[in-house]
Amino acid sequence: MDKSQLLVRAKPYYKPNQLLELEHAIDVATVAHAHQKRKSGEPYINHPMAVADILVSWGMDIDSVIAGILHDTVEDTEISLDQIENLFGHDVAFLVDGVTKVSQARAGMQNLENYLPRTKDNLSKLLIAVGQDIRVIIIKLADRLHNMSTLQYMSREKQLKIARETLEVFAPMADRLGMGRVRVELEELAFSYLNPPEYKRLKGLLKKKLGKSTRKLGEVKLEVEAELKKYGLKAEVNGRVKSVYSLFKKLAKVSGEIDNIYDLMALRIIVDKKEDCYLVLGILHDLYQPMINRIKDYIAIPKPNGYQSLHTTVITRNKQIVEFQIRTYDMHEFAERGLAASFHYNEQKTTKGYTEKRHSSTLPSNMQWITQMQEVVTKLKNDEEISPDQLNVDLFGNRIFVHSPKGDIYNLPEGALPLDFAYLVHSDIAKHAYSFRVNGMIHPFDKPLQNGDIVEVITRKLSLPKQDWKDLVTTTHARNKLRTQLGQHDISSIYNSVKNIIYTKANPRKK
């Protein structure tokens, strides 16, 4: 892709002055990378141009696109961060610096599973970059997506290393941001390098299996469209084929029996309003026989990454089992592009508050984990002491959402225990926790919470934190609050003991 092609693709989405700024960035990056080549032999500038093009397709703001063009300049060329700030402003420089820090942090990583380096310095770079502006990670995802598409030019050793990192780190990262389409693309590319024979086998199996049912599914599609038209519903009906890597994971759960997988191909129905989703669900269940245990309402209770949709599986008149996904256009946009679809930087980034707070207050509830990192980020920036527990931050693990009896939503990692919830609500409430009710039933301290649970903390003033609570919390936040409370309790106990000794000596009992 050359400069003119990128500018043509960007033209519908940005103002004339923004396009001029983008053109300037392309010129600067082209000169900076002029003598560099990629492993394929093509000019290096092709890579940042492709990254910027991906960011345009995701609907990112102009600063992100410009940072995409310049993301390798500070690390790989003579251009300095100060020069970028002078030419393109603070925000672009901040993003380029963030992407550079993530790259530097990755260079020191020893633990791919949690995407964390072992050294405090590298962890600082990573957390500060990610915690202050999540656009840094979105740019990094675009960078990785393009690198994966050109991985064939690397040595086999590097292919395996990069593909494994992509599958274990970047794909889950995309999932955490709700970027479903990006997650699938990354998984497919990575899996094709990590296990080429199995990838090829499953791709052939999927093609063969779908070949038999595509025609029948086309008939179902026409039947559903006709039925929705009778009700005057405006809807878009299209098909969705399961990815090869998703099939690989699903087969492991059903003992390798592909006939036990009902969603190899699903029909997706997209409507204008949320109410129409439920109306469509009723129409489908009136038209076909629903499989009751396969009805899922992700609209009322979204998935932890924010995904919303109604899922139902039905048995058609010709005995074909078909899965339907029903959602609005907005839900579909978020399912495809995730957090990239929900950012509105252009109005916010001009304010001082935006620059300082990095839009944390505007994030949807399912992205609370980003703002929860701020406690660690602030301590790192102030060079405060960090405990080993605080270094064990799981940025990209699975999340659940639980509710208070009043309906407030709290975001916790999967496997969180009731005390984790209590400390997230308020440390004073947790301090006096006596028992818990979950969904109206008494719930043990050591039983994990589930997505959608309604959790009530029952308190007693005389109840105080205990040492064995250390085994009943899983989050860094709860562990730190508990440690502080136990320390205060120990100091108080020592003080009372000393006071009693002094009192006893001053007032000896009469014999």
* 52 closest CA partner among 34, 67, 33: 67
Radius of gyration for the alpha carbons in the chain, expressed in angstroms and rounded: 27
Of the residues 2, 42, 75, 236, only one is catalytic, namely 75
Q: Which two tokens stand for residue 194?
A: 């990590």
Of the residues 76, 85, 198, 414, only one is catalytic, namely 76
The per-residue pLDDT for 366 is 54
The residue whose two tokens read 């992205």 is 367
The per-residue pLDDT for 7 is 95
Residues in contact with 422: Cβ distance below 8 Å, sequence separation at least 6, in sequence order: 429, 430, 433, 436, 457, 478
Residues in contact with 281: Cβ distance below 8 Å, sequence separation at least 6, in sequence order: 295, 310, 312, 326
With beta carbons less than 8 A apart as the criterion, state whether 74 and 97 touch. yes
The per-residue pLDDT for 420 is 94
Beta bridge mates, 296: 311
Half-sphere exposure of 183 (CA within 13 A, CB side): 21
* Angle subtended at Cα 457 by Cα 454 and Cα 460, rounded to the nearest 5 degrees: 165
Reported as a single tens digit per residue, the pLDDT across 16-50 is 999 999 999 999 999 999 999 998 899 999 999 99
The per-residue pLDDT for 349 is 40
> Domains (ranges, CATH) in the chain?
3-194 (1.10.3210.10), 196-338 (3.30.460.10), 398-498 (3.10.20.30)
76 is known as an active-site residue: yes
Amino acid at 288: Y
The per-residue pLDDT for 132 is 63
Amino acid at 141: L
* 444 closest CA partner among 431, 458, 432: 458
E strands, 310-416, are 310-315, 321-328, 399-403, 409-413
The per-residue pLDDT for 480 is 86
The per-residue pLDDT for 251 is 84
The per-residue pLDDT for 135 is 85
The per-residue pLDDT for 172 is 80
Reported as a single tens digit per residue, the pLDDT across 400-424 is 778 888 877 787 888 899 999 999 8
* 213 closest CA partner among 157, 279, 261, 281: 261
With beta carbons less than 8 A apart as the criterion, state whether 124 and 380 touch. yes
Q: Which two tokens stand for residue 469?
A: 């609570």
Handedness of CA 111, 124, 69, 65 (dihedral sign): positive
The per-residue pLDDT for 199 is 93
* 374 closest CA partner among 395, 388, 353, 343: 395
Three-state DSSP at 420 gives: helix
The per-residue pLDDT for 506 is 60
The residue whose two tokens read 């052939």 is 204
With beta carbons less than 8 A apart as the criterion, state whether 309 and 298 touch. yes
pLDDT (tens, 9 = 90+) of the chain, 511 residues, equals 789 999 999 999 999 999 999 999 999 999 999 999 998 899 999 999 999 999 999 988 899 999 999 999 998 999 999 999 999 999 999 899 888 877 765 554 444 334 444 444 444 455 555 556 778 889 999 999 999 999 999 999 999 989 988 887 788 878 877 788 999 999 999 999 999 999 999 999 888 887 767 777 888 999 999 999 999 999 999 988 888 998 888 887 777 778 777 778 889 999 999 999 999 999 999 999 999 888 999 998 888 777 899 999 999 988 888 999 999 998 998 888 877 765 533 334 433 333 343 443 445 555 555 555 555 555 555 666 655 444 444 454 566 778 888 877 787 888 899 999 999 899 899 999 999 999 999 999 999 998 878 999 999 988 889 989 999 999 888 988 898 888 766 554 544 554 555 556 566 654 4
Q: Which two tokens stand for residue 26?
A: 């392309």
